Structure 1
Amino acid sequence: MEKNKNFEVIIIGGSYAGLSAAMALGRSLRNVLIIDSGKPCNIQTPHSHNFLTQDGKTPKEISAIAKQQVEQYNTVSFLNDLAINAQKTSLGFEIKTENGKTFTVKKIILATGVKDIMPSIKGFSACWGISVIHCPYCHGYEHKAVRTALIANGERAFHMAPLINNLTDDLTILTNGSMDFEESQLKKLKENNIEVIEKEITEIEHEKGHIRKILFKDGSKENFLTAYAAIPFEQHTAIPINLGCELTEQGHIKVDFFQQTTVDGIYACGDNSSPMRSVAYAVATGNIAGAMVNKELSSEQF
């Protein structure tokens, strides 16, 4: 791989979506390079769920099996590095890495994920992915029937409340400041015995990432064992924006049903292009992206 600087496809990001795209392309005999820095966003998550055949495995286990299987296709190469820049050329694209390598490529698949922006609450980051979770489908079953907090406000909180309420009868919404609900929403929350606490959160007391108490600015405390949180995110890399890819209002890379971005020759898959953050969805969209890139290359060569 070190001698080869020209590829048909470069996949930036080698986690679930990127490896899934690589498998589709490797099985189509495409000359592919995966550039990955080895820092997945779910590195702290103890177990992955809601993915057939892999339910309950650690994220690292799933990635290791996936990489081992993709390595069987000898047209796929791996580079442990960080892609830092990409630009359009007359023949496709040029990609540069942190370690000074430069590659030329016909098509790019962005499987770069997103970066969660942690709130300035002491203990939050230590609990993220362990007992402070983002998705009732990925982690809710393991945190069912316990006193649960939802750290969110307004429409986002109201959207998540029914999903979480289905898993526990003891749910409290923590708005971390003044609430932003319509009267009809407050009425519905009250009907379902969901309390709303408007106090500002200062700290999450925990033991090795497992919540024990949530502390508020006024000095009060509440006991919880689990908290869901709706927090902001940003793209993990500026490469999509620098290449001219449009983003949605929520900040995801805009793609069509075939994972094509708004820039010809660039596809995106996984968390960077959808709010459906799950391993299963990342694998599915990666498979689609790989197949569509192969179709595009095949049509151009035919």
Structure 2
Amino acid sequence: MKSYEVIIVGGSYAGLSAAMALGRSLRHVLIIDSGNPCNKQTPHSHNFITQDGETPSKIAAKAKEQVLNYKNVQFIEDVVVNGKKLPNGFEILTKSLQKFTSKKLVLAMGIKDVLPKIKGFEACWGITAIHCPYCHGYEFKNEKTGILANGDQAMHLLPLVHNLTKNLTLLTQGKPDITEQQRTKLIKNNVGIRTQAIVELIHENGHLKTILFEDGSIEHFTALYAQVPFKLHSNFPMEMGCQLDETGRLQVNPFQQTNIKGIYACGDLTSRMRSVAYASATGNIVGAMVNMELANEVF
């Protein structure tokens, strides 16, 4: 089958959640997924009710199994490289040169983290080099923790992490970009500052032990928070006319609709709230909205 009512690009939590709502609404759906989720290295997923502490891969595998119980939903592992608007829908081209068409298009392929070029960082990412105090913070409560950030980004993270551990050091990788008022807050809360550039995260199988700085000094840390930059996996949504918001993510309205009629987006692609629970919730909204749009078109 090459023509569907809905094509979903991305088959992780957001895409699978959208597919379940659509599958239960008897829609013919194709999910196209690369098989390379951003949290593949994370050992446990937290702050997702009923699944707290489960591995991300097991949550996704169970979700996929349940979604594919709906026989009108199909799943292929491939990468979308191009898309174009048709008079009555959309055409998608994949890396394997397959073409598919659909009436509606759902973008749920997430984003790609751009990791700093620090030795050992990639190996620790998602394990002890972490991005979210809600997803990972409890596991490192009361532990020696670093915050790899500067400026307003640092001041956003610090109160959240300080709630979990008082043993905090801000790692600014250069001159601190903070106001005197902010510096007073750091002193008041006993937050240290290190301005030296980080050379290496010394670890065992992704478990951080020590940070080596450019001046040759070392300091023990158990966890390191870092909100790294990101990029989109592909430019094809923008080539189809989808607009980005001020953060560089796809712009959507409260119903997860992009500025292009018939194209919806969900999950990490549309929000700073990077969590399994939030991705699943936005996917559920998309499934309902797309089904309603399809239903209204023929009623």
Query: Where on the TM-score scale, by shorter chain, does this alignment land: which range?
Result: over 0.9
The aligned amino acid for 1:261 is T
Match status 1:211 vs 2:208? yes
SS of the equivalent of 2:83 reads strand
Describe how 1:138-177 pairs up with structure 2 within 5 A: 138-177=135-174
Distance in 1, matches of 2:136 and 2:234, equals 27
2:126 counterpart (129, 132, 151): 129
Aligned to 1:185: 182
Distance in 2, matches of 1:281 and 1:289, equals 12
Aligned to 2:250: 253
Measured against aligned partners, the alpha-carbon deviations of 1:65-96 in whole angstroms (never above 9, x if no partner) come to 10111011111011111111101111211100
SS of the equivalent of 1:172 reads strand
2:102 counterpart (83, 95, 105): 105
Aligned to 1:270: 267
Aligned to 1:72: 69
RMSD: 0.7
Measured against aligned partners, the alpha-carbon deviations of 1:25-62 in whole angstroms (never above 9, x if no partner) come to 00100010000110000000000000001000000110
Unaligned runs of at least 5 residues, structure 1: none
Retained in 2: the 8 A contact 1:83–1:98? yes
Shift of 1:257: 0.7
SS of the equivalent of 2:19 reads helix
Distance in 1, matches of 2:174 and 2:189, equals 22
Aligned to 2:17: 20
Retained in 2: the 8 A contact 1:85–1:97? yes
Measured against aligned partners, the alpha-carbon deviations of 1:232-260 in whole angstroms (never above 9, x if no partner) come to 00112212211111111111111111000
Aligned to 1:296: 293
Shift of 1:206: 0.5
Larger displacement relative to structure 2 (281-290 or 248-257): 248-257
SS of the equivalent of 2:53 reads coil
SS of the equivalent of 2:87 reads coil
SS of the equivalent of 1:163 reads helix
Shift of 1:177: 1.5
Measured against aligned partners, the alpha-carbon deviations of 1:251-277 in whole angstroms (never above 9, x if no partner) come to 111111100011111000000100000
Measured against aligned partners, the alpha-carbon deviations of 1:158-217 in whole angstroms (never above 9, x if no partner) come to 000000000001010101112111111111111111111111111111111011111111
Distance in 1, matches of 2:245 and 2:180, equals 29
Unaligned runs of at least 5 residues, structure 2: none
Retained in 2: the 8 A contact 1:132–1:227? yes
The aligned amino acid for 1:146 is E
Distance in 2, matches of 1:239 and 1:142, equals 38
SS of the equivalent of 1:140 reads helix
Retained in 2: the 8 A contact 1:147–1:170? yes
Size of the aligned set, in residue pairs, is 299
Distance in 1, matches of 2:178 and 2:298, equals 56
Aligned to 1:46: 43
Distance in 2, matches of 1:237 and 1:301, equals 33
Retained in 2: the 8 A contact 1:151–1:227? yes
Distance in 2, matches of 1:64 and 1:173, equals 38
Q: Calculate the TM-score normalised by the size of structure 1.
A: 0.98
Retained in 2: the 8 A contact 1:112–1:237? no
Distance in 2, matches of 1:276 and 1:25, equals 24
Distance in 2, matches of 1:46 and 1:135, equals 14
Distance in 1, matches of 2:87 and 2:199, equals 53
SS of the equivalent of 1:122 reads coil
Question: How high is the sequence identity, in percent, across the aligned residues?
Answer: 59
